[in-house]
Amino acid sequence: MRGITAFGAGVAVWLCSATAGMTAPSLNVLCGVDEMWCAAMKTAFEAKSGLEISMTRKSTGDILNQIRAEQPVPSVDVWWGGTGDTHLQGGSEDLLQTYQPAHERHMLPWAQNFFAMSGGRSAGIYAGALGFAYNADLLRQLKLPAPTCWKDLTDIAYRGRIRSGNPNSSGTAFTALATLVQLFGEEEAFRFMVALNRNIDQYTTAGSAPVKAAARGEVLIGISFMHDAVTQKQAGYPLVIVAPCEGTGYEIGAVSIVKGTRHLEDAKRFVDFALSPEGQGTGAASGQNQVPSNALATLPLAAPDISMIKMVDYDFATFGSPEERSRLLERFDADITAMN
């Protein structure tokens, strides 16, 4: 916990990095992971490289939208973190630069497959399984049954007691949408989401926000990646983490260089650092619990064992395509958002 507190101080430094008297940053990075990890990565890369960088945290969908809007003269050099299917979409729209990272040979097989799928435009930096978590103290107070499956979440007992991300902005929530379609088929998945919507109190911009709210007791259940729930549980919150009985999807978080960057060589240095054992170690050091992609990196002790979780054969190529992503989001807005 002392290490997490130290990185909390780093967040304040990071947020104040634009103060007077500092030189212009050499690199602009948009960060799609937790704020604590963004700050830790900024500090570690600056110490390693001697460069000063700007690091801004945004949700994955918002990052993609900004990169789109700024082409062909981007202000962003590197997109670090966030769900891989969104990176794949950016690559398919020719928004990202090809690059062969220095540590690609040390990548685990799932990361090597992802790199090949991206056409060399995005490299996998971590993996994590989707699930949900409930607040055990609140569950006990309310005398409600403990959910163990996706379909349990439609029980009327949880009316207004579940929080989820909005897939238009949250990569986590889009992974959930794509997961449900792959688990149940599209029609059944949307019937499930219509029923689930009755129990959702709000859809958040950030994908980790629902489980943080459940940790604080603001809601009973948060849908999120399991590693985000583990981080909250390590901080002392009474969460029970669930791998849904029907099976679940997973993310590959990625790093990409934005096409048109004016700082290509420094961007390559950042990507190489992000894929190194040292760079990937900043996750565990800042209290994160994703599975790192470099085989030489140390696995966080509390990282969920994804080999023990029932997984769908997640189709990154299909759900990372612009056409399928846009179509599913349009249907989500028509069938779910319009009901609220």
For the chain, what is the domain count?
2
Same domain as 288, residue 331: no
Structure-token pair, residue 66? 């900004």
Residue 242 maps to a domain: yes
Whether residue 173 is found in the same domain as residue 191: yes
* CATH number of the domain where residue 285 is located: 3.40.190.10
What is the distance between the alpha carbons of residues 171 and 149, in angstroms, rounded to a whole number? Answer: 22
pLDDT the model gives residue 243: 96
| 251 DSSP β-pair partners | 128
120 within domain boundaries:
yes
Contact 161, 336 (CB under 8 A): no
What phi and psi values does residue 162 have, to the nearest 5 degrees? Answer: -125, 145
Q: What is the pLDDT of residue 3?
A: 40
**What local confidence, expressed as pLDDT, does residue 15 receive?**
40
CA torsion 295→298→299→302, rounded to 10°?
180
Kindly state whether residues 225 and 328 are assigned to the same domain: yes
- 41 and 160 in one domain? no
Q: Is 144 found in the same domain as 285?
A: no
Q: Indicate whether 170 belongs to any domain.
A: yes
**Domain identity same for 222 and 105:** no
pLDDT at 24: 63
Kindly report the length of the chain. 340
Report the predicted TM-score, pTM, of the whole model to 2 decimal places. 0.84
Instruction: Indicate if 50 and 142 belong to the same structural domain.
Output: no
Q: Are residues 245 and 258 in the same domain?
A: no
pLDDT of residue 304: 87
Mean pLDDT by groups of 10 residues along the chain of 340 residues: 38 40 75 95 97 95 96 96 94 96 92 95 96 98 98 98 96 96 98 98 95 98 96 96 96 97 97 97 94 94 87 92 95 93
Q: Is residue 309 assigned to a domain?
A: no
Counting Cβ atoms within 10 Å, is residue 247 exposed (0-12), middle (13-18) or buried (19+)?
A: middle
Q: Which of 251, 254, 255 is nearest to 309 (CA)?
A: 251
User: In what helix (H) or strand (E) does residue 82 lie, and over which residues does it extend?
Assistant: strand 78-83
Residue 310 lies in a domain: no
Q: Are 217 and 327 part of one and the same domain?
A: yes
Does some domain include residue 35? Answer: yes
Residue 108 in domain: yes
In a 13 Å sphere around the CA of 129, the CA atoms on its Cβ side amount to: 22
Contact 262, 70 (CB under 8 A): no
Report residue 279: phi and psi, to 5°.
-65, -40
From the list 229, 255, 202, the residue with the least C-alpha distance to 63 is 255
Measured N-to-C along each axis, helices 84-92 and 60-70 cross at an angle, to the nearest 10 degrees, of 20
Within a domain: 30: yes
Residue 84 domain boundaries? 2-128+251-303
Please tell me the distance from the alpha carbon of residue 37 to that of residue 14, in angstroms, as a whole number.
11
CA 296/CA 132 separation, integer angstroms: 29
